[in-house]
Amino acid sequence: MAKMIHSMVRVLDEKRSVEFYRQAFSLAVVDRLDFETFTLIYLSNLDTPFELELTVNKGRTEPYSLGDGYGHLAVSVADADAEHLRLTSLGLHPGRLVDLDQDGRKMARFFFISDPDGYKIEVLQRAGRYL
């Protein structure tokens, strides 16, 4: 059976992106592979073996077009309200908190935040299928 191991996004500024993911989601660099024309940075934390791969293409100065195919990454947290407050206090500008209900039943509590390159990350409160 296949096992999901990482997702990759292209970023312009390694330092800025690594710092955002450290502050926002406690992700730390677990590996960094430097090649002639690009660098791969793998981020993870102790809560999951899944990694986020940041690709920095050397010499790139123009922001990447996210197009209409990219959706979002998702992370779960114990308390969405507390996390929203923490990210706001860091000046990271999370979106509004949303409660998603279906047929009168609460399905999820979440908000979105964008990284420095505009990639959206959904922050879900741990409950139901979002553990």
pTM: 0.89
The total domain count for the chain is: 2
Residue 65 lies in a domain: no
The domain of 89 spans 71-131
45 and 80 fall within a common domain: no
Give tens-digit pLDDT for 36-70.
Answer: 999 999 999 999 999 999 999 999 999 999 988 78
Q: Are residues 54 and 79 in the same domain?
A: no
**For residue 4, what is the domain's CATH number?**
3.10.180.10
Same domain, yes or no: 131 and 75? yes
Task: List pLDDT tens digits, range 16-28.
Answer: 999 999 999 999 9
Distances 95 to 80, 85, 89, 113 between C-alpha atoms, Å: 12, 11, 13, 6
Q: What is the 3-state secondary structure (H, E, C) of 94-113?
A: CCCCEEEEECCEEEEEEEEE
- Whether 87 is in a domain gets the answer yes
Task: For residue 19, tell me if it sits in a domain.
Answer: yes
What is each CA distance from 62 to 12, 59, 71, in whole angstroms? 8, 9, 21
